[in-house]
Structure 1
């Protein structure tokens, strides 16, 4: 008869093998779209290709690993490693970082989670809940992140859920010898969700390498009315004179200026550093409607006004999406977007200016509007 008296000793040696429950999940999205776009260069030519600014219209392509472990007593640990890639070329997205979308480890219990690593900003997280596309991917529908930032390295965050309220506090360490402010970010986001209403608020301060500050405040709402959802949000942004987000650490290029991402026909994005204080007021309204169990219609309008000494410019976008789901994992969509600029942002689209400085009276050499049409296929796994 076989004896199993060695099992208790084995359990003491490897306790996690007995009581810890753990899992690792592979997940991802691939979003690719045939695209027609006008005014793709300063000559005003159109272009046909894949993607807009290397992205599908709705989602950034990605794959990731997400793990969790039950530590007992209500405690848990976990991690997320999420890669972003360009479906049209297979190259890495997010400045070429392997896990450029997210890379963090966390631990928590019923009082909340503490996470350390590369994470979304609280502003990006809160806007997700009150944006018609959950913040899309193409430049036409996601350029609000040029004000708020999307992700920061060296971040420490706390997230707690208290009934209908979620609180998220974050501090991104600058890692600069001799200065705790340089290249750091501090923020607090709050979300209230109950029945058909979601309300959010956020405050965030980010410093560049010279400790100059960019401050943003956000408020937004989502309301469900039968098969329809209504969205509205407002971003107030104020930057110190000379604030330079390109000197703010990895991925702070996301908070540079009102610009369209670089493409093969647009030699560079615009690094807009203003010699005076700069203020932006950004408004978004939108709606989605579940026309059938498989068909969702979405429309939105966004407008930003930039003001500084000797500078007054406006950029706006309207877009519409018809998204048909073949299944829970696969859908096809048609998207149409129209972008235009006025005032001192004139000439933004398709320009070849690589070092434009706001308020310098150096005009952009592109066009004042751009139309984009996309036929996309998206698959989640």
Structure 2
């Protein structure tokens, strides 16, 4: 769930059209029991969560808390407060970067402390999101040992533990036992079958739409009461027509180009109040060039709203650097563009290199324009911007 959080799994070819019709017209489509959100979704109001609950039957929200050993999601505290105000069950997740047992314990301590500070209540689930290159390079036994260490440590903070990963990694890169786990695998034509029914949750889409919220969301069907604090929820959608229409929108013509934001001219000088990372791209997942200390003066030439932040570009002697100046709500000169993207749907066996070569791009450029790095794992079914 990097934010990306694209964890997508099946080619959007003819099956996508079938899925669109099925999910839009069939009452047995997978449920939107749980939504997960992160900094990539920007600020989420209580009204948005109330709409998710009342109109779409959402029961629980799982918010990003932290990543690795230093990153704290800036929206965690507001998400936790607003979800609770909306009367939904609240949980959290930590995006894992650990490769050793010691690192897993250290990250669990960091995640637990960050969750406490952000207001995640005792008894909530604090899952470890295991899908990064660090774990891809480890053996199954090593990942199992590290995950067990993280979960044991996180329980010391009063949180319940679980593992989030993709269907292709479950019981391949790590062990996910029955009656545990939150598994991502999508899109999929349900056709009467509930995937991962023995696990706590099945994440089946990253493109779900909600009436008053911007963008696509990761949604999951809950197969147990684990993410609702072992309590049964009576939340049911009150607007079935909206659910049907939005499910249909989420999948119909999924490969069509969509409008995007564009850079606008902005010659401005910033004096930083706090230390800020300068990135290689306008994304929190892009590499850091350096860290500017408080008091540094930065001259910029362009700005854009992207990934939940307002980004500015700094001309440098060898290219450009990018830094976030605030949340997306700080729109200033933000404008919509008529520019459209062309998408490619990842297939089994694809890699950053093969997709980049096929579309005349470098791996770095391809990853950057999708808000990722070449070390981010991609999955069959995931859509990438190639033009």
Using the size of structure 2 for normalisation, the TM-score is 0.26
Greater relative contact order (Cα < 8 A, sep 6+)? 2
Using the size of structure 1 for normalisation, the TM-score is 0.26
Name the structure with the higher strand share.
1
Name the structure with the higher helix share.
2
Rg comparison, structure with higher value: 1
